[in-house]
Amino acid sequence: MSGPARWRNHPGYGAFVVHRVSGLLLALFLPAHLYVLGLAIEGEAALDSFLRWTEAAPVKLAEAGLALLLAAHLAGGLRLLAIEFLPWTDRQKTLLALAGGFSAFAALLFLLNAL
Protein backbone atom coordinates (compact mmCIF):
# COMPACT_ATOMS: atom_id res chain seq x y z
CA MET A 1 0.00 0.00 0.00
CA SER A 2 1.40 3.36 -0.94
CA GLY A 3 0.29 6.96 -1.11
CA PRO A 4 -2.41 8.54 1.06
CA ALA A 5 -4.10 5.22 1.88
CA ARG A 6 -0.97 4.15 3.76
CA TRP A 7 -1.29 7.12 6.16
CA ARG A 8 -4.98 6.47 6.85
CA ASN A 9 -4.06 3.23 8.60
CA HIS A 10 -1.72 5.00 11.04
CA PRO A 11 -3.22 5.61 14.53
CA GLY A 12 -2.11 9.22 14.35
CA TYR A 13 -4.36 9.79 11.34
CA GLY A 14 -7.47 9.30 13.49
CA ALA A 15 -6.12 11.77 16.02
CA PHE A 16 -5.44 14.22 13.19
CA VAL A 17 -9.02 13.89 11.92
CA VAL A 18 -10.53 14.29 15.40
CA HIS A 19 -8.43 17.39 16.04
CA ARG A 20 -9.39 18.99 12.73
CA VAL A 21 -13.10 18.12 12.96
CA SER A 22 -13.37 19.27 16.58
CA GLY A 23 -11.70 22.56 15.65
CA LEU A 24 -14.10 23.06 12.75
CA LEU A 25 -17.16 22.30 14.90
CA LEU A 26 -15.92 24.63 17.63
CA ALA A 27 -15.47 27.35 15.02
CA LEU A 28 -19.06 26.79 13.87
CA PHE A 29 -20.23 27.11 17.50
CA LEU A 30 -18.51 30.46 17.93
CA PRO A 31 -21.24 32.60 16.27
CA ALA A 32 -23.86 31.08 18.61
CA HIS A 33 -21.66 31.89 21.58
CA LEU A 34 -21.23 35.47 20.40
CA TYR A 35 -25.00 35.75 19.90
CA VAL A 36 -25.59 34.76 23.53
CA LEU A 37 -23.02 37.30 24.68
CA GLY A 38 -24.96 39.86 22.64
CA LEU A 39 -28.13 38.88 24.51
CA ALA A 40 -26.37 39.73 27.75
CA ILE A 41 -25.64 43.20 26.39
CA GLU A 42 -29.27 43.67 25.25
CA GLY A 43 -30.60 43.26 28.73
CA GLU A 44 -31.43 40.97 31.59
CA ALA A 45 -34.80 39.79 30.23
CA ALA A 46 -33.38 38.53 26.92
CA LEU A 47 -30.57 36.67 28.64
CA ASP A 48 -32.87 35.18 31.30
CA SER A 49 -35.21 33.89 28.61
CA PHE A 50 -32.33 32.19 26.83
CA LEU A 51 -30.96 30.75 30.06
CA ARG A 52 -34.35 29.18 30.84
CA TRP A 53 -34.22 27.50 27.43
CA THR A 54 -30.78 26.04 28.24
CA GLU A 55 -32.28 24.01 31.11
CA ALA A 56 -33.83 21.58 28.59
CA ALA A 57 -32.33 18.08 28.46
CA PRO A 58 -31.36 18.23 24.75
CA VAL A 59 -29.43 21.45 25.40
CA LYS A 60 -27.63 19.82 28.33
CA LEU A 61 -26.70 16.93 26.05
CA ALA A 62 -25.43 19.38 23.44
CA GLU A 63 -23.34 21.09 26.14
CA ALA A 64 -21.78 17.72 26.96
CA GLY A 65 -20.97 17.37 23.26
CA LEU A 66 -19.36 20.80 23.36
CA ALA A 67 -17.28 19.73 26.38
CA LEU A 68 -16.23 16.62 24.43
CA LEU A 69 -15.20 18.77 21.45
CA LEU A 70 -13.21 21.11 23.69
CA ALA A 71 -11.45 18.24 25.47
CA ALA A 72 -10.73 16.44 22.19
CA HIS A 73 -9.32 19.60 20.63
CA LEU A 74 -7.19 20.27 23.72
CA ALA A 75 -5.88 16.69 23.70
CA GLY A 76 -5.12 16.96 19.97
CA GLY A 77 -3.27 20.22 20.48
CA LEU A 78 -1.21 18.71 23.28
CA ARG A 79 -0.47 15.73 21.03
CA LEU A 80 0.80 18.07 18.32
CA LEU A 81 3.00 19.88 20.82
CA ALA A 82 4.39 16.55 21.98
CA ILE A 83 5.15 15.51 18.41
CA GLU A 84 6.89 18.81 17.74
CA PHE A 85 8.98 18.98 20.90
CA LEU A 86 9.38 15.42 22.24
CA PRO A 87 11.08 12.42 20.66
CA TRP A 88 8.76 9.96 18.89
CA THR A 89 8.37 6.71 20.83
CA ASP A 90 6.49 3.42 20.52
CA ARG A 91 4.10 4.58 23.25
CA GLN A 92 2.23 6.86 20.82
CA LYS A 93 -0.75 4.46 20.51
CA THR A 94 -1.13 4.41 24.27
CA LEU A 95 -0.93 8.18 24.47
CA LEU A 96 -3.55 8.51 21.72
CA ALA A 97 -5.87 6.18 23.62
CA LEU A 98 -5.31 8.12 26.84
CA ALA A 99 -6.11 11.40 25.06
CA GLY A 100 -9.36 9.91 23.75
CA GLY A 101 -10.21 8.56 27.18
CA PHE A 102 -9.49 11.95 28.74
CA SER A 103 -11.82 13.62 26.25
CA ALA A 104 -14.65 11.20 26.94
CA PHE A 105 -14.10 11.46 30.70
CA ALA A 106 -14.23 15.27 30.60
CA ALA A 107 -17.48 15.22 28.61
CA LEU A 108 -19.10 12.66 30.94
CA LEU A 109 -18.00 14.60 33.99
CA PHE A 110 -19.55 17.74 32.54
CA LEU A 111 -22.76 15.86 31.70
CA LEU A 112 -23.05 14.39 35.22
CA ASN A 113 -22.52 17.85 36.69
CA ALA A 114 -25.11 19.39 34.35
CA LEU A 115 -27.91 16.94 35.19
Q: Is the pTM of this model over 0.75?
A: no
User: Who contacts 74 (Cβ-Cβ below 8 Å, separation ≥6)?
Assistant: 103
State the residue range of the domain holding 8. Answer: 4-114
The secondary structure of 22-40 as a DSSP string is HHHHHHHHHHHHHHHHHHH
Helix, strand, coil % (nearest 5) of the chain? 85, 0, 15
42-91 pLDDT per residue, tens: 888 888 888 899 899 999 999 889 998 998 898 888 888 887 787 767 67
* pLDDT for position 20: 92
Domain CATH code at residue 94: 1.20.1300.10
6-25 pLDDT per residue, tens: 767 777 788 888 899 999 99
Q: Count how many domains the chain has.
A: 1
